[in-house]
Amino acid sequence: MPMTLKRAAAALLCALAPAIAIAQSYPARPITLIVPFPPGGTTDVLARSLGQDLGKALGQPVVIESKPGAGATLGADYVAKSKPDGYILLLGAVHHVVAANVYKKLPYDFSRDLAPITTIALVPNVVTVNAKSPANSLGELLAAAKAAPGKYSFGSNGLGTAQHLLLAQMEQSAGIKLLHVPYKGSGPLTTDLLGGQVDLSCDTITPVLPHIKAGKLRGLAVVNDKRAPQLPEVPTVDEAGLKGITVRSWFSVAGPAGMPRDVITRLNAEMVKVINSAEFRQRMADIGAQGVGDSPEQLAARIKEDTERFAQLVKAAGITIE
């Protein structure tokens, strides 16, 4: 081999050595999974369910850490700026794609600064009211809201989240005006919905399902193309007469851009095994979720597609956050 080629090969090996060393020893210590919402919501439930089995598979604990605020963007920013060694990960969601279109300026780029690993689950949203509400159907609720613009309050997971966009779509489709009350996440939102401090929400099924089953909340419509198996008596929004509601919630795992490819491959393989296990899928069914477990490339395509689609929806709804 000519000397110049030997030197080039040696230089390449030197450059790759740190990444190879990391991949071979990974993980050598606990992994932190950042949840960008408070405890009690779907992201928190999914993180703990995945982390429990993933820790066993990797031989290291997966520590769940909550960093809520600013429509899930604070947690995403923290992970985007973390060392890309696979020890700080993000429980990402459709919220981050919505935020990318809603916020005029973010300190990170979700598509560029985070490395997709896999989609954990798809979770439908449910229009929900307190059981004491006089509205027994979505039609009754919309009629009441139309007769009293701005009177009925709509709780969301925060400004720039999927629920914020769902609110805008509901207002446009039904010709109504609701009072938007943004929360830091599903946990505090559900607490206030139970207490009657907010009139309705259109949140993921996970935090509201046990309360609907207990008769404390009432599900009026599922934002999905078919009824949720856990709530077979609740119609879809189309069946309930509300057209054009298209936001679907998904949840994923990502890490900082620049992570070694071998680490991403290892994480994806172990996560997909967990997600495809019978035990995990049953846990997902119990909370109204559908496990996915796709490749990094498929998750990247999902992010790209939704980023482009939501850009049009956000523009049509006129939602902007400084």
Query: Could you give the CA distance from residue 142 to residue 153 in angstroms, rounded to a whole number?
Result: 12
HSE-up (13 A, CA, CB side) for residue 154: 26
Task: Tell me the residue length of the chain.
Answer: 322
Question: Is CATH 3.90.105.10 what the domain over 29-123+248-317 is classified as, yes or no?
Answer: no
* pLDDT recorded at residue 247: 84
* pLDDT recorded at residue 280: 96
Q: Which structure tokens are listed for 148?
A: 């009293």
Within this chain, domains 29-123+248-317 and 125-223 share the same CATH topology = yes
Provide the CA 135 distance to its chain's centre, in angstroms.
29
CB atoms within 10 A of CB 105: 6
Minimal CA–CA distance to 232: which of 205, 250, 207? 205
- Kind and range of the H or E run holding 130: strand 125-130
Strands lying side by side in the sheet with 88-93: 62-66, 31-35, 88-93, 249-256, 114-123, 290-291
Domain ranges within the chain, ordered by starting residue: 29-123+248-317, 125-223
- pLDDT tens, the chain, 322 aa long: 455 555 655 555 554 545 455 556 899 999 999 999 999 899 999 999 999 999 999 999 999 999 999 889 999 999 999 999 999 999 999 999 999 999 999 999 999 999 999 999 999 999 999 999 999 999 999 999 999 999 999 999 998 899 999 999 999 999 999 999 999 999 999 999 999 999 999 999 999 999 999 999 999 999 999 999 999 999 999 999 998 887 889 999 999 999 999 999 999 999 999 999 999 999 999 999 999 999 999 999 999 999 999 998 888 888 888 8
Sign of dihedral through CA atoms 130, 134, 139, 144?
Answer: negative
* pLDDT recorded at residue 22: 53
Confidence (pTM): 0.87
Contact 46, 121 (CB under 8 A): yes
List the CATH code of the domain at 125-223. 3.40.190.10
